[in-house]
Amino acid sequence: MTTTVRSPASQTGPWSLLQDFEFRRVWMAGALVGVMRWLDVLAVGVYTHQVTGDPLIVASMLFLRMLPMLLFGAVIGAWAERVNRKRLLLGGVIAIAVLYAVLATLAFTDNITLAHVGIGATLSGLFWAMEMPVRRTLIGHIAGTERIGAAMGLESSTNNFTRMLGPSVGGMLLEFIGLYGAFTLGFTLYTLGAFLLIPVKSGTEITGRGTSIISVMREGMATIRATRLVQAALVVTIIVNFWGFAYVSMVPVIGKVEMGLTPFPIGILMSAEGCGAFLGALIIAFNATPAMFGRIFWFGSLFYLAAILIFSVSGIFWIALPVLFFGGFGIAGFATMQSALILFNTPPERRNRVMGVLAMCIGFGPLGILHVGFLAHLFGAATAVTIISAEGFLALCAAGYYWNELRRLAKPKIEA
């Protein structure tokens, strides 16, 4: 028996990925999509609160955006193996570019309504449910097993950079141009993303031809039942999305009601977490080894929930800002290792279907959004976030106790 020989860092690290033509294009397209995703969350949240003044309706908009993840994530992940994934991804990007062009026109002519915004949120959420398993699996395919940690580190750092950039740009556009400025930028970014994807050759193979979607989903569930670390990754994903990410829907309300902020500083507040997460993900990308994946994932999730709890009771912009910034380091650990744990511990031919289940687990976010929305309706936005972050912290402690693999350094893989 011999220990697996690791390739030099120059061949397995982030720099080797950035020299890969196909990886760069798929990665950059994801960055453009991510900027608009988080910009849209802020813009729609602020617009909805301006129109209705009701935190429950604000939460409902994010609910509509994330509901397709829960309803269709696993099905899309299985179905994606039966089609040309590159064409599926490209077609989705083009469709959402057209959607933003329509919304921008409606906003510019003052004909936009809350119903239009809700339909836009739902359709972009349907694209999100497809894009996440398809594009990340494609990235994992291009990177290969040895570079999965580095690939997910770069992917997470970029996603978190977009969480920093998107809300701040969105707040600025809302304050100085209006809602149509945000939607016009969305059309521009998605169009650029489409041009980046056109030359990509990977993802054209069809691996699930002749296999029913039900059979593919069953095989995916069998893989999950057989691998405790994959189970743990999915359960922690449900916990963080239900009790953690739901707080985002309340940031516009807390910023306006509790701190008296205008849209631009609210955008800065939402960007703070993304800034910390961007830096944290870069550190992880260049330093994490497979043995550390579980620890980084679980402890990062705990740190994130603790930061949200402190944010909810701060009440002052200049205290909340650094708290969310440092909380971003925690979410970097969660977001980077979420896909890395699954891709590293799943056979390549089954990754698409398990990533589809991951998308479904992320889809528990809408239920968390309704949870925090109802609590905010009863007790106020800040108290609601305090409650959900405390609940989530306790749930994570229970998960870490049951799946103790998350708290240990993993043993190196041994091969004959």
CA–CA distances in Å: residue 299 to residues 72, 387, 410: 30, 20, 15
What is the dihedral angle through the alpha carbons of 351, 399, 214, 124, rounded to the nearest 10 degrees? -70
**Entry pTM:** 0.68
Alpha carbon distance 70, 357 (integer Å): 9
Task: Assess contact for 282 and 14: CB atoms under 8 A.
Answer: no
Report helix, strand or coil for 2: strand
Alpha carbon distance 168, 271 (integer Å): 6
CB atoms within 10 A of CB 180: 18
The residues with which 414 forms a beta bridge, in sequence order, are: 3
Can you read off the two tokens belonging to residue 382?
């800040």
Alpha carbon distance 373, 129 (integer Å): 22
Taking alpha carbons only, the member of 221, 397, 195 closest to residue 303 is 397
pLDDT of residue 145: 66
**Phi, psi dihedral angles at 346 (to 5 degrees):** -125, 135
Start-end of H helices in 288-380 = 293-314, 317-344, 351-362, 365-379
Task: Assess contact for 148 and 344: CB atoms under 8 A.
Answer: yes
The residues with which 2 forms a beta bridge, in sequence order, are: 415
**Residues of the chain with confidence (pLDDT) below 50:** 1-10, 412-416
User: What top-level class would CATH report for the domain 10-407?
Assistant: mainly alpha
- Segment 114-148, tens digit of pLDDT: 899 889 888 988 888 888 778 877 887 787 767 77
Half-sphere exposure of 85 (CA within 13 A, CB side): 29
Domain ranges of the chain: 10-407
pLDDT of residue 413: 46
| 414: enclosing H helix or E strand | strand 414-415
* Distance from the first to the final alpha carbon of the chain: 5
Taking alpha carbons only, the member of 179, 265, 232, 195 closest to residue 405 is 232
pLDDT of residue 219: 66
CA–CA distances in Å: residue 395 to residues 29, 59, 293, 309: 35, 22, 20, 14
- Segment 334-375, tens digit of pLDDT: 887 887 788 777 776 666 667 767 777 877 877 888 888 889
pLDDT of residue 207: 55
Can you read off the two tokens belonging to residue 318?
């200049």
Alpha carbon distance 201, 218 (integer Å): 29
pLDDT of residue 412: 43
Read out DSSP for 359-407? Answer: HHHHTTHHHHHHHHHHHHHHH-HHHHHHHHHHHHHHHHHHHHHHSGGGG
